[in-house]
């Protein structure tokens, strides 16, 4: 498996750009698409099953176990180990950003939800930086994180955005909990869950309230040559960029604008804007910190036993309401705010 932060439609737009505009980035995008294609095709060959949850090895999180390697510009994993848990800064920005980002992600899940690493069993956190030449992506491959350095023309290095690191590692949390099928609406939920927790990793690390947070995924990834602020906006899907080369951010924010497509595994990076917007509305209605009651409901939903791997938006919304009722009570303000949030994006509870 390979869950990548940059969607194929964005790389395609870049690859098709005129050579006189972004020659280096266009070449890098074509290479990145070729690199990722076998992994996109492989997703159709198997259907995931619900993960059988096991008891944690320890009763409480004991701290991260990080190991950062470098591929030294090759496409070989895991590469050469350059920093392990407890060692100091190396002076290599990508290495040190990956180390810190893995730690910040571990801290969110441990501090807010009592989870012991990605698998809730103390799994070591592995990452490889400097992957490939001008590689325009970052991905979770089922066992570790991998980061490209970007092309320097459109994309900066992919370790520079904490929400990207949190997003990709959260794919690992989903893999070891609900294991949502990466296709269609369940795939959009898989992407959305990673956006939610990617944003919360950043907010938790910065101690930002929901009002202070940017709600951007991939802020800082674009160079100054791009007219845009991030890959995605959770507060206003469809507004993250509007660029001559990349085009306009195509994410919908409401079910009225749901995109039917066979590309991008059925639009997983597109339609994820709808549940993203629902979470943003829910969290801001509650106020305070997003990783509190709002994040707890999402965590309860993906780590519980009743969410099917092929859940659609309606089923997921119903499961979140059920999780909120179980935690806060039927008449709680959290439940009222959550129902309203789903209704505002055109999704009702499953009857």
The CATH code of the domain that includes 25 is: 3.10.170.10
Do residues 245 and 122 share a domain? no
pLDDT for the residue 40: 46
Please state at what angle helix 184-206 crosses helix 313-328, rounded to 10 degrees.
Answer: 40
| CA–CA dist 30, 14 (Å, integer) | 8
Token look-up 């509870």 returns 349
Contact 134, 151 (CB under 8 A): yes
Residues 204 and 261 in one domain: yes
How would you list the strands of the sheet with 80-84, edge to edge? 3-4, 138-140, 145-147, 125-129, 66-70, 80-84
Regarding whether 332 and 289 lie in a shared domain, the answer is yes
Q: Assess if residue 207 is contained within a domain.
A: yes
> Is-above-0.85 flag for pTM?
yes
The end-to-end CA distance of the chain, in Å, is 34
Give the separation between CA 239 and CA 242, rounded to whole angstroms: 7
Contacts of residue 269, defined as CB under 8 A and 6 or more positions apart, other chains included, come to: 7, 9, 188, 191, 232, 251
Domain that holds residue 112: 3-175
Q: Tokens representing 79? A: 């590469």
Are both 34 and 152 inside the same structural domain? yes
What pLDDT, on the 0 to 100 scale, is given for residue 350?
A: 47
| Cα–Cα distance, 63 to 135 (Å, whole number) | 31
Answer with the one of 117, 148, 175 that is the final residue of a domain: 175
Last-in-domain residue among 142, 175, 208: 175
Q: DSSP per residue over 127-171, as a string?
A: EEES-SSS---EEE-SS-EEE----SSSB--GGG-HHHHHHHHHH
Phi, psi of 146 (to 5 degrees): -135, 135
What are the residue numbers of the active site?
168, 269
What is the spatial distance between Cα 314 and Cα 189, in angstroms, rounded to a whole number?
A: 11
Q: Is residue 351 part of a domain?
A: no
Domain boundary among 144, 175, 206: 175
Query: pLDDT of the chain along its 351 residues, tens only?
Result: 678 899 999 999 988 886 566 788 888 898 888 876 655 444 444 444 444 444 444 457 889 999 999 999 999 999 999 999 999 999 999 999 999 999 999 999 999 999 999 999 999 999 999 999 999 999 999 999 999 999 999 999 999 999 999 999 999 999 999 999 999 999 999 999 999 999 999 999 999 999 999 999 999 999 999 999 999 999 999 999 999 999 999 999 999 999 999 999 999 999 999 999 999 999 999 999 999 999 999 999 999 999 999 999 999 999 999 999 999 999 999 999 999 999 999 997 543
In a 3-state reduction of DSSP, which class is residue 43?
helix
CATH number at residue 331: 1.10.390.10
């Amino acid at each position: 498996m390979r869950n990548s932060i940059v969607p194929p439609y964005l790389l395609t737009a870049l690859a098709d750009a005129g050579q006189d505009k972004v020659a280096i980035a266009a070449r890098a995008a074509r290479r990145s698409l070729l690199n990722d294609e076998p992994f996109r095709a492989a997703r159709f060959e198997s259907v995931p099953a619900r993960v059988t949850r096991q008891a944690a090895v320890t009763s409480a999180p004991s701290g991260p176990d990080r190991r950062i390697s470098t591929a030294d510009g090759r496409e070989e994993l895991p590469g050469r180990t350059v920093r392990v848990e407890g060692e100091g800064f190396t002076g290599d920005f990508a290495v040190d950003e990956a180390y810190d980002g893995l730690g910040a992600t571990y801290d969110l899940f441990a501090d807010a939800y009592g989870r012991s690493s990605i698998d809730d069993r103390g799994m070591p956190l592995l990452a490889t930086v400097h992957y490939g030449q001008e590689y325009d992506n970052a991905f979770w491959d089922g066992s570790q994180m991998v980061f490209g350095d970007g092309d320097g023309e459109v994309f900066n290095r992919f370790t520079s955005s904490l929400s990207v690191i949190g997003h990709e590692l959260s794919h690992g949390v989903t893999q070891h909990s609900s294991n949502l099928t990466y296709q269609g609406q369940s795939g959009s939920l898989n992407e959305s869950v990673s956006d939610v927790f990617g944003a919360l990793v950043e907010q938790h690390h910065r101690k930002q309230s929901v009002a202070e947070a940017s709600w951007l995924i991939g802020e800082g990834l674009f160079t100054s040559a791009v007219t845009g602020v991030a890959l995605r906006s959770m507060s206003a899907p469809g507004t993250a960029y509007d660029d001559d080369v990349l085009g306009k951010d195509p994410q919908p924010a409401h079910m009225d604008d749901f995109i039917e497509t066979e590309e991008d595994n059925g639009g997983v990076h597109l339609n994820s804007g709808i549940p993203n917007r629902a979470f943003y509305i829910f969290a801001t209605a509650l106020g305070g910190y997003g990783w509190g009651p709002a994040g707890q409901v999402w965590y309860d939903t993906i780590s519980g036993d009743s969410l099917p791997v092929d859940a659609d938006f309606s089923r997921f919304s119903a499961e979140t309401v059920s999780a909120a009722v179980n935690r806060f009570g039927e008449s709680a303000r959290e439940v009222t705010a959550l129902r309203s949030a789903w209704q505002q994006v055109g999704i009702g509870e499953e009857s």
